[in-house]
Amino acid sequence: MFKNVFSAKRLFFSERLRNYSHAKKIATVAVFTALSVVANMFLEMRILDIQFSLTIFFSAITGYFLGPLAGFFACLSGDFIGYVFNSWGQLYLPWVGLSTGLFAFIAGLMFGDEGEQPFKKQIVKFLIYVALTFCICTVMINTTGFYFYFKYIYVSKKFLAYAEEHFGGNGGYFVYLIYRLFINGQIWNSIANYALLFAFFPVLKKIPFLRLHDNAEE
C-alpha cells in the first residue's frame, strides 16, 4: 500500500508538480500559500464556545496537490503570514503552524501520487490519515502546546473553572485534553473537517487541473 512512500523525489513535490517547470512550481506554491493565508484569516467561525475552521480540510488539499514538503512549506508559511497580518496583539503560536504543515505533509505522503485506486483501499488510507493526523497534530502537538501556553503564559480561567468543578482543581494534561476536545469542541471541529474532506476527495480527483496525469508539460 505504501510502496515508495518515502522515496526522495516524493518528499518534495507531488507527481503533478514534478511535471511543471520551475517557474510554475514556484508560482503554484505561492498561490497555495496565499490561499492558506486567506483560510487562516477568514475561514473561521465560532458557534457557542466551539471554534470551527477549515484548517484540516485546506491543509490536506494543499498537501494532496503540492506534495509533502511543498505542502508543508505552503501551510506553515500561510499560518505565519496570516498571523503577521492578523495577530490581534497575541503571541505567535509556532505549534499551530507546525501542525498545520503536518496535516499537509502527511496528506502529500499518502495521497499526493495516487491515481485511480479501489474504493476499499482509498477508505483504508483515508482512515489511516485521520488516525495519524488526529493523534499527531490535534492531540500531541496542538493540545500539548496549548496546555503549556495556558499553564505558564496565559492562564485560562475557563479551564481552571472546569478543572475545579469536575476534577477537584486537578488541571493536569489529560484533564486539559478532555477539556479541549469535548468542551472547547476540537473533536467536533475535526470530525467536520474530515467529513468534508471525505466528501470532497472524489470530486477533487475529477477536476482537470488536480488530476495527476493531465498536467505534464511538453
Give pLDDT, residue 213: 45
pTM metric for this prediction: 0.87
Give pLDDT, residue 4: 52
Q: pLDDT exceeding 90 applies to what percent of the chain? A: 47
To which H or E segment does residue 50 belong?
A: strand 50-53
Cell numbers standing for residue 200: 470532497
**Residue 201, Cβ neighbours under 10 Å: how many?**
15
Q: Which has the closest alpha carbon to 214: 111, 104, 115?
A: 115
CA dist., res. 10 & res. 32, Å (int):
18
Give pLDDT, residue 13: 84
Write down the CATH number for the domain with range 8-214.
Answer: 1.10.1760.20
Cell numbers standing for residue 32: 497555495
The distance from CA 164 to its chain's CA centroid, rounded to whole angstroms, is 32
Give pLDDT, residue 209: 55
pLDDT in tens, 139-197: 999 999 999 998 888 888 888 888 888 888 778 899 999 999 998 889 999 999 999 99
Give the model's confidence band at 115: pLDDT under 50 very low, under 70 low, under 90 confident, else very high.
low
| HEC secondary structure over 80-110 | HHHHHHCCCCCCCCHHHHHHHHHHHHHHHHH
204: left (phi over 0), alpha (psi -120 to 50) or beta: alpha
Give pLDDT, residue 52: 82
Give pLDDT, residue 175: 93
Cell numbers standing for residue 202: 472524489
Are 104 and 60 within 8 A, CB to CB? yes
User: Buried b vs exposed e over 14-44: b needs ≥16 C-beta within 10 Å?
Assistant: bbbbebbeeeebeebbeebbebbbebbeeee
CA dist., res. 27 & res. 24, Å (int):
5
Q: pLDDT exceeding 70 applies to what percent of the chain? A: 85
More confident call, 43 vs 116: 43
Maximum Cα–Cα distance across the chain? 67
Cell numbers standing for residue 155: 492562564
